[in-house]
Amino acid sequence: MARKRHRLIRYNRPLRWSIVLLFVIALIVFRFVDQIGPERSVGDRFVVVKVLDGDTVELLGGDRLRLLTIDTPEKGERLYKEATAYLTDLTLNKRVRVEFAHKRRDKYGRLLGYLYVDDTLFVNLTMIRRGLASVYLFKDTDLDRKETINMIAGQREAIEDRVGLWSVDPVAEDYYVAVKGSFRFH
């Protein structure tokens, strides 16, 4: 009897693991399908439910969206709180539209896009014009795209108007450090 029971347990083990695996897959699929659902109209799919910092939001369904072509101060840096609060005022609990570039996700799994509220307010550009963000380019950034052109022009305006990040005179450094091909220096 004990031998027969041992054989049943051994043969049922793969079945149990298969059931557990199917259950986990079903949870993941239903989580995304249930909360996001089909897109019925422009912007209907995306609702900002949380602002993580000045350039990252969380959308209904759990996806995180990193705003393309901008960089805002990190926690502990000057204007971090202001950038995060301003992005919160612009987007929290609002339906938004996302324009994607050729690459939809980054290496962290976040969506990458240009964010619009009410199809008219270009959030990425608004953050730059307020001096709460700077243009952040990568080697694969499409420099001929209208959003990129507008953000570079917006940053020039913010620098000329000396707002936000651009309101303080830069401190001269003895040297700058750059990684070859990174488009950035520190």
pLDDT tens-digit readout, 110-166: 998 999 998 889 999 999 999 999 988 877 667 778 888 999 999 999 999 999 999
pLDDT band (50, 70, 90) for residue 21: confident
Q: Do 57 and 115 meet the contact criterion of CB atoms below 8 Å apart?
A: yes
Which of 45, 66, 97, 130 is catalytic? The answer is 66
Does the pLDDT of residue 1 top 80, yes or no? no
Whole-structure pTM value: 0.70
Tokens of 185: 């220096």
Q: What is the pLDDT of residue 42?
A: 44
Tokens of 118: 């009410």
Which of 74, 77, 99, 157 is catalytic? The answer is 74
Alpha-helical runs (H) found in 73-174: 80-91, 123-129, 146-161
Taking the C-alpha atoms of residue 137 and residue 169, their distance in angstroms, rounded to an integer, is 23
What percentage of the chain has pLDDT greater than the value 70? 78
Q: Could you confirm whether 66 is annotated as catalytic?
A: yes
**Number of C-beta neighbours around residue 81 at 10 A:** 13
Which of 64, 95, 105, 110 is catalytic? The answer is 110
Q: Measure the CA dihedral 25/112/185/170, to 10°.
A: -120
What is the enclosing helix (H) or strand (E) of 117? strand 111-117
DSSP 8-state assignment for residue 180: T
What percentage of the chain has pLDDT greater than the value 90? 47
